[in-house]
Structure 1
């Protein structure tokens, strides 16, 4: 506050001038009463707050009535966060009023109270208060102070009043209670947090039944899918792993796991039985297998079209077969299995590998037997190779060379170095498997590709005096044979590569192989390749020409919208297949008509019943004629439609055309479920070989069957 210059405040003006010139004395003469009063006020304020400043400023001003300067004394104390201003700001310039002044007063030490500064005895040394906690510190204190509710295992505190769900990242308001979080977990995630958490240990000391059940089921799934032994759950490494992941979880013993596998088997079998009841027609594949324990098994797989018209496969069983493998015993086992699954009247065909005992048993069951096309193709090629003597000799020589590089570390390393020096990829040679002809193709192909480094490696090895490399003429002959065999290798790869190959592909593949081998015979000059092509052509004609007359395969080909009649080599066989399809379609229409017409009451027996016999026969004939006409019309409309691309799924076509062709759609369900080979059954045995390993050689046959059933039907 600036005071006007008057005669009444001359002394005040003189003092202000002295302050501006910094000539004011170090101490200001104040009355002892005022000093004692100031000291008392300072002491009282220090007892209230520890953070008072060390300097006490006294400011005097004269009242507006002209009172003496000493008549009113104001004592100001500066504390942290409070400057004494009415504005409440921390700006230091507000104290710089040029018309005001402050005087420092030396206060003697007080006892008890803050200690004096040793360096400057005239000032007080008071401990500063700690700063106010930051937002982050408040959040940490709030995190530490929150209740130990199980919901916090699913929520993260992002702000003092906001939480985020760690399951769906939704942000909720938080008001020091967990009600909203509990409602969110129950509504969105179907989780009841009134029990201990399912994702980790809790403070309650027991484990929730739901979470333990989930972990037990996961262990069963792992054993079934990976083929692990039951004793794995008692292994030290596995138990330590689960103890680290969840200390409260108690791992079940191997007997308990085995019991859970049994329960799972019963559940899956009941579910599979329900699915087969819905199927209108099924086909089977069957084969025999012997384990490393010399235990024989009969495996049977079932194929059908599901409700959404997709080809589905169910393993009916891998039945222990301790008796001799006669046709009578196989027939009995097959009949029992079909009756158990309730499909005895639904089986339209069975695909086998052509073994005599199995074929006889299929005939005894009154089921049409279809020779596995993959086995048939393998037999044709192997027979043709053995009939070509020069190629068979080269095959034996190639087996010895590959066997040497497979068994000798020095030869293997030498071949790798030679390949690297020649700038070629370091690949290994392929050894032939006796039972698979395509492994012979792979062996010759790899040797022809690596002929240069292979010849150099053989020449540099001193331990291969009894092995000689192929000559240039030999490699030319191998190349010719590879060219002849390449279409057969493609067909084999297609049959074995796809998960499920329809039987409708058998006749088209046969036609393409016949065409390819005929072209090679006409174009190839005399040599090993030409001889091999001739043998292949003759064997294909002998073993595969009759496939077009197999009812199931021919009807499946006609019902495949990718092929129809054009897939047949013989037009007469194609026309015969269309006629058979017309007859089956007419029979189906007639059965449906009889089911829709209400049965008429039988006339009373009398002597004149013969009067109506002729009329009744004409009515039946007319119904049959109409059914035949309707079937022919439906088939002709279907055959006139454009073929769908070969890469498209024929089952999807029938799913979208079942209203347009209702009778053919039902026949497609019957014949398009037949597989082209018994490869699905052989894959079961490949898994069985992994299951009955050295670690699990004491498994009971019943346990093997249940594990394989669950592995393939999960």
Structure 2
């Protein structure tokens, strides 16, 4: 920002004699000072806490392709107020073995003077290397519940509806990569939905690593069914949906809606781990209800089976109850 021509011009107009510090000045002086001040403030608060819980994940930056390991801390103050802070987003250049992950986590905890007695629980993904790293670093750990829910959705629905998903992604990509197609599609919407006063929308692209994205993509497809059919009638080169495939989209959206709502609620910063069991039990009861349509009934049976396999096993419930 300090080197942006427009920003420099703005400051020159507001204060002609002011010299903007260089980018190097900010990166080597201002930011380190701000970081150190904030770190001391958080460390002083954490030092007063008996137990701290954590979340951790490994991800790769899409632009630089560098890998990082994060560590966020969660605790309750003596006034019973929930607090959290990102302790680290550390460059992780080594191979992602359990031993290396454990070493990295241990170094992070040592930097904050958090011994084993104060480390309560670590929420992680289900990868075997993260599980091993957690075990080697002497902390109780649990698989992220929302991550498990995404596996359930894939097991029961997405893995069985690949043709519909492939077509939906192809159409979303078509509009996202063509300004002309997007303008034409919006014009059709303006004509067909002008009486409803709705603003034109675009199709959404799902992202495998983003929760609820497949549901949002298919829901938008269903919402824009009429203008999409009109557009596709003049573009034979693009895939179209048959009547049975539109029914599948409707069924998938209906079944994924409760999962989407649960994911949003459980992703909230104030959501405690103790909500997992009642939330998932409520979800199971919802899908135990009989359905009139055979297709929906079969999908619900798959969902219940996946729920029981991944979340209702005795050992996992025992761990959840212990931690809650």
The TM-score with structure 2 as length reference comes to 0.89
Q: Report the alpha carbon displacement of residue 342 of structure 1 after superposing the two structures with TM.
A: 1.2
Q: Are residues 1:371 and 2:139 paired? A: no
Compared with structure 1, are the counterparts of its residues 474 and 240 closer, same or farther at alpha carbon in structure 2 (3 Å cutoff)? Answer: closer
Q: Are residues 1:526 and 2:294 paired? A: yes
Alignment-derived partner of residue 128 in structure 2: 356
Q: Secondary structure at the match of 1:286?
A: strand
8 Å CA contact retained: 1:382, 1:437: no
Alignment-derived partner of residue 177 in structure 2: 407
Q: Secondary structure at the match of 2:114?
A: coil
1:470 to 235, 241, 247: 241
Q: Report the alpha carbon displacement of residue 243 of structure 1 after superposing the two structures with TM.
A: 4.2
Alignment-derived partner of residue 637 in structure 1: none
Question: 1:322-471, aligned counterparts within 5 Å?
Answer: 322-344=93-115, 345-388=117-160, 391-424=161-194, 425=198, 426-436=200-210, 438-459=212-233, 461=234, 464-471=235-242
Alignment-derived partner of residue 321 in structure 2: 554
Aligned mates of 2:270, 2:147 — CA distance in 1: 16
8 Å CA contact retained: 1:381, 1:437: no
Q: Highest Rg: 1 or 2?
A: 1
1:314 to 68, 85, 89: 85
Aligned mates of 1:319, 1:409 — CA distance in 2: 39
Q: Report the alpha carbon displacement of residue 244 of structure 1 after superposing the two structures with TM.
A: 4.0
8 Å CA contact retained: 2:188, 2:227: yes
Aligned mates of 1:408, 1:238 — CA distance in 2: 32
Q: Report the alpha carbon displacement of residue 308 of structure 1 after superposing the two structures with TM.
A: 2.9
Aligned mates of 2:250, 2:193 — CA distance in 1: 22
Deviation digits for residues 373-421 of structure 1, max 9, x if unmatched? 1111111101212443xx3222222222232233334432332222122
8 Å CA contact retained: 1:352, 1:358: yes
Compared with structure 1, are the counterparts of its residues 466 and 248 closer, same or farther at alpha carbon in structure 2 (3 Å cutoff)? Answer: closer
Alignment-derived partner of residue 517 in structure 1: 287
Aligned mates of 2:172, 2:248 — CA distance in 1: 18
Compared with structure 1, are the counterparts of its residues 323 and 473 closer, same or farther at alpha carbon in structure 2 (3 Å cutoff)? Answer: closer
Alignment-derived partner of residue 481 in structure 1: 252
8 Å CA contact retained: 2:99, 2:133: yes
Aligned mates of 2:157, 2:189 — CA distance in 1: 30
For structure 1, which runs of at least 5 residues remain unmatched after alignment?
A: 1-231, 558-714
Alignment-derived partner of residue 306 in structure 2: 539
Q: CA RMSD in A?
A: 2.1
Alignment-derived partner of residue 493 in structure 1: 264
Q: Report the alpha carbon displacement of residue 249 of structure 1 after superposing the two structures with TM.
A: 4.3
Deviation digits for residues 551-596 of structure 1, max 9, x if unmatched? xx32565xxxxxxxxxxxxxxxxxxxxxxxxxxxxxxxxxxxxxxx
Alignment-derived partner of residue 299 in structure 1: 70
Aligned mates of 1:406, 1:236 — CA distance in 2: 30
Q: Are residues 1:245 and 2:17 paired? A: no
2:39 to 250, 253, 269: 269
Question: 1:10-49, aligned counterparts within 5 Å?
Answer: none
Deviation digits for residues 90-149 of structure 1, max 9, x if unmatched? xxxxxxxxxxxxxxxxxxxxxxxxxxxxxxxxxxxxxxxxxxxxxxxxxxxxxxxxxxxx
Q: Report the alpha carbon displacement of residue 478 of structure 1 after superposing the two structures with TM.
A: 2.1
Alignment-derived partner of residue 282 in structure 1: 52
Aligned mates of 1:315, 1:511 — CA distance in 2: 31
Aligned mates of 2:5, 2:174 — CA distance in 1: 42
Aligned mates of 2:5, 2:208 — CA distance in 1: 42
Aligned mates of 2:176, 2:166 — CA distance in 1: 15
Aligned mates of 1:380, 1:333 — CA distance in 2: 31
Compared with structure 1, are the counterparts of its residues 296 and 408 closer, same or farther at alpha carbon in structure 2 (3 Å cutoff)? Answer: closer
Q: Report the alpha carbon displacement of residue 366 of structure 1 after superposing the two structures with TM.
A: 2.2
Q: Secondary structure at the match of 1:252?
A: coil
8 Å CA contact retained: 1:387, 1:535: no
Q: Report the alpha carbon displacement of residue 247 of structure 1 after superposing the two structures with TM.
A: 4.9
Aligned mates of 2:5, 2:253 — CA distance in 1: 53
Compared with structure 1, are the counterparts of its residues 446 and 240 closer, same or farther at alpha carbon in structure 2 (3 Å cutoff)? Answer: closer
